[in-house]
Structure 1
């Protein structure tokens, strides 16, 4: 049989080398594998089952000399088996049979069991189920269904106790929370809970390989890759583990390149190395050129699973949300004397030098959002007070300390508590206990401080955004604190905005960053009409000056 080149597997580097390709075959190869540099003469490509299957297919047209048919055939068989097993498990008619490991009276929902079974069969996955669908229970189910022990779970600092409580509530697994950054003799346990803030101190212990499974809660914490202390620790954990699972509804916070960093901790090399990923998927810098294509590819590999409340297996357990958007009053007297500073900053943004404009833009963003929050703070409090005539509790989201102070004074009869970035883990837990126990009827939460928080859904179904964020995903996660398994009522999601300050521009811009996340999370769903992201602060500056 005619050969068109040479193929060799470097098992140490985990890369294929392709050499001596005929010129027209090299063109065809680079067309099929866009992660390969178009100028390469000797070609190298990361080794995964997906790449092996593609090589197998390519050689049906252009045979290459090699001794790896057994490896290639095995990869094709593994992919076919996993795909068939996924399809079988995800059928609405699939039933798991008797499930072992859960405590009496406790069990996972069907869709959570599906995720756990697929993850165990794969050796891991990124579970991107929508906010509120109970990814924690899916992870616990994976541990009970065969993920090897002992397991390490890495969480945000304030969620360690919640994870321990939930694991012990649903199972008989022994759990130990890692304390501090200084290693000590660990007690026997099935599950060890690390915090992203202390894992780096345990790298030497992790290198010894005691943790056979690793689960990353809110894995977007690792979206900056290995270049941080927590990223380096996670790299060692993933390299040593046989089972790797990531949990997040928002793997992409800003731009699609974050997906590569996240997937490296779940399935290394699935998207190639960094340079391969950039060549194959990114059209300009950090921006994924075809988010729908990347999202569809990740699903097809079986290492990314995402369901929403519209999924047939989820729909029955989740009441639909009720989105309420209200324009409220603002009080310019509350920010008297500050508006001139904002106007000066806006002029610098539009007319200053590059460096001056950059500094002024950041200051203008912070200043105008703060002033907007203060100007509408009492109107927000009045709205919440009205809600509390019929609602037992309200979850209220903000951003600025000055705004919280106004809310706390205006809502004093309801004994409001705080859950922001300023409280300790113990302080946050006291706030949760007061809110859930009925001592407080209002919890004021920072929009970016509630990731992973669970339990509020049993006591509240009204969530109010009192200050807007630039990221739509942040709002979505906030509402997800209430819209999750266990919520028996319709969740009312209240957006409160005013026709002054930064709010008009924020409302206009909120659809911008959503498309990078939308395409990867939900490929094939048409994006909403939107503007470009580049000029949001210039738009804010123009709005400030036009309102003067």
Structure 2
């Protein structure tokens, strides 16, 4: 007579009609310890029952766990577990077959005569068709927009579709989709619903969607495409995030297009994925337990990147992967002269704010940190603005067309005055979408050799590679993703010259701390998005702006005492803690 198999607890399938879970109950203590090690989403302090989502990947993991620690399970629940585990295996096999080099797609329908999709783009279409949710993270210039257009015109049941993009991208979407396919496109004109004309694709500016939430809830749209979904990295707590959440919930297909899903730190990926596939990273508390360290940072970014790829929810190819590798971009850090008076003019107030950032009330500290950042960054930009303009002029005189990048209006004003004879085009946050397109055309048509662009206006912009191969960053951003988005405007297919990027910096002000932080952020984002492309520095900072605060706290003790006296605060040397500062910055 065969000996009964030893079991260590019970596994049950539980459902309340809307939420389906696996409940692991009565697990023996030593097995429970092992279970929590293997499933970090289970709270360490939980005594059971232990709940896991009833999705395909959980079924595969539970089945694997039960092969080592058998659990009692009913025949009906065992069948459910087997069905889901088999579904997981079949899905993985099918998706991996799609991504094999030998994959050949069927001919795409709905494309205009003479247009065709490349094989790697067709693979993305097939992954989305099968999986229904995809974050397409292909490197800039590999045609993510064309993938979206081909998917919509060739896959039945995907129309009508909603495209959500930045304001300056609305016309580009219209031109690219209608030039590549026979789809009818309508650009949404208002922030409130109106009678929509017949169309296949409706293009929304992201600032418009909060007024259309009620229409989204009617299931009118079958597909949503988020162009640069990192714009939603603050999650559903904002009006636009809440509207996007409704749109995702009431559409069948979800596609995100971005090569830089992370602008700051890796935890932003959770918010971004909620609009693409909310099941893949689970609930926020589970995600933080499973992936984050005690500072709220991703503990193992490469592992997270690998996991997202294994689930085929993140698909990313580099130019080198598809035979389009361009010459490597030359990145040059150049120290320039600056007006010391401009930096010194804010010195006393900057030190007072730095002190208040470590000594004031919670509200005062938050306000002080933000004000310090704004004030010192602008003062730094103004201090070097004339030298930056002169640098750009020298490049133009040498025969180059220049993309000159900044952030503050006061800096733009100095550049415009210094370069007035060159009549620079303006593509910043101050122009309307129509004006931006007009200014871009002036640059592309050769009417001017300088395009002044805002750091955060570059995402998705196409065409500059045909006119320009030189980028000059006259001001820096805290996020490395912002810089990379700008560089990809010229480092893309169609570029005929090696791309050179100049970062013009000064010894004082905010440039030093920002460059230090950029190294850290780039490391974490790189490991998540490109976990297999080699090691990078992983030195950790302690806070986003702590270096900037510390720079002014480290001024001479005599100066600090004078400022403390003027500010009416008591001397205090406590360092600004990471968690406190992040809370302050988040408001």
What's the counterpart of residue 539 of structure 1?
A: 550
Look up the match of 1:514: 522
Q: Deviations over 1:198-234 (max 9, x none)?
A: 2222222222212111111111122222212222222
User: 365, 368, 389: which is aligned to 2:397?
Assistant: 389
Q: Which one is further off, 8-17 or 370-379?
A: 8-17
* 1:300 to partner: Cα distance: 0.6
Q: 1:530 aligns with which of 539, 542, 551?
A: 539
* Residues 389 and 79 (structure 1), Cα distance of their counterparts in 2 relative to 1, 3 Å cut: farther
Per mean C-alpha deviation after superposition, the further-off stretch among 326-335 and 464-473 is: 326-335
CA distance in 2, matches of 1:357, 1:8: 49
User: What are the equivalent positions in structure 2 for 1:94-493 lying under 5 Å apart?
Assistant: 94-96=103-105, 98-146=107-155, 148-284=158-294, 286-311=296-321, 313=322, 315-316=323-324, 318-333=326-341, 337-346=345-354, 358-493=366-501
Name the SS of the counterpart of 1:266 in structure 2: coil
Matched, 1:35 2:41: yes
Q: TM-score normalised to the size of structure 1?
A: 0.92
Question: For the Cα contact (< 8 Å) 1:347–1:545, is it kept in 2?
Answer: no
CA deviation after TM superposition for structure 1 residue 350, in Å: 6.8
Aligned equivalents of 2:366, 2:284: Cα separation in 1: 29
Distance 2:493 2:191 in 1: 34
TM-superposed deviation, 1:345: 4.1
Q: Distance in 2 between matches of 1:154 and 1:353?
A: 40
Distance change >3 Å, CA 246–CA 71, structure 1 → 2: farther
1:405-435 deviation per Cα after TM superposition (whole angstroms, max 9, x unaligned): 1111111122112212222212212211211
Residues in 2 aligned to 1:354 and 1:200: alpha-carbon distance in whole angstroms: 31
Q: Does the 8 Å contact 1:256/1:286 carry over to 2?
A: no
| C-alpha distance in structure 2 between counterparts of 1:71 and 1:427, whole Å | 58
Checking the alignment, whether the CA contact within 8 Å between 1:154 and 1:195 is kept in structure 2 is: yes
The question of whether the paired residues in 1 share the 8 Å contact of 2:334 and 2:503 is answered with yes
Residues 316-325 or 113-122, more deviating = 316-325
- Check whether the contact 2:262–2:481 (CA below 8 A) recurs between aligned residues: no
Cα distance, 1:352 vs structure 2: 6.7
d(CA) in 2 for partners of 1:410, 1:90: 52
**1:88 Cα shift?**
3.1
**CA distance in structure 1 between the aligned counterparts of 2:327 and 2:122, rounded to whole angstroms:** 20
Q: Deviations over 1:446-487 (max 9, x none)?
A: 111222222222221111101112222211111112122332
| Higher deviation after alignment, 74-83 or 36-45 | 74-83
From 69, 77, 89, the equivalent of 2:98 is 89
> Contact 1:377–1:466 (CA<8 Å) still a contact in 2?
yes
Q: CA RMSD in A?
A: 2.6
How many equivalent residue pairs?
546
1:87 offset after TM fit, Å?
A: 3.0
Q: Shift in Å at residue 505 of structure 1?
A: 2.8
Contact 1:391 1:462 in 2 (8 A): no
Within the candidate set 500, 504, 513, 2:512 is matched to: 504
For the residues of structure 2 that align with 1:44 and 1:36, how far apart are their CA atoms? 7
Deviation, structure 1 residue 81 = 3.2
Deviation of 1:358 after TM superposition, in Å, equals 4.8
SS of the counterpart of 2:124?
A: helix
Is residue 469–residue 506 contact of structure 1 (8 Å, CA) maintained in 2? yes
Distance 1:104 1:391 in 2: 38
Q: Distance in 2 between matches of 1:128 and 1:198?
A: 25
Q: 1:91 to 1:8 in 2, by over 3 A?
A: closer
Distance, in Å, in 2 between the alignment partners of 1:247 and 1:357 is: 37
Which ranges in structure 2 are unaligned for 5 or more consecutive residues?
560-587
Q: Which residue of structure 2 aligns with residue 75 of structure 1?
A: 84
Aligned to 1:13: 18
Taking a change above 3 Å as real, the CA distance of residues 502 and 207 of structure 1, as seen in their structure-2 partners, is closer
Return the alpha-carbon distance in structure 1 between the equivalents of residues 195 and 311 of structure 2.
40
Deviations 1:359-404 (A, max 9, x none): 4443332222222211211111111111113444211111111111
Q: Is the 8 A contact 1:309 1:318 kept in 2?
A: yes
C-alpha distance 545-269 of structure 1, shift in aligned 2 (>3 A): farther
- 1:51 equivalent among 58, 74, 81: 58
Q: How far apart are 1:303 and its partner, in Å?
A: 0.6
- Residues 78-119 of structure 1, C-alpha deviation per residue, up to 9 Å, x if partnerless? 333333333333334544353333222333333322222222
Structure 1: stretches of 5+ with no match in the other structure: none
Deviation at residue 347 of structure 1 after TM alignment = 5.5
Cα contact 2:404–2:472 (8 A) shared by 1: yes
CA distance in 2, matches of 1:411, 1:273: 52
Q: Which has the higher contact order (CA 8 A, sep 6+)?
A: 1
- The question of whether the paired residues in 2 share the 8 Å contact of 1:505 and 1:543 is answered with no
CA distance, structure 1, for counterparts of residue 86 and residue 555 of structure 2: 61
Deviates more, 1:59-68 or 1:436-445: 59-68
2: distance between equivalents of 1:165 and 1:511? 37
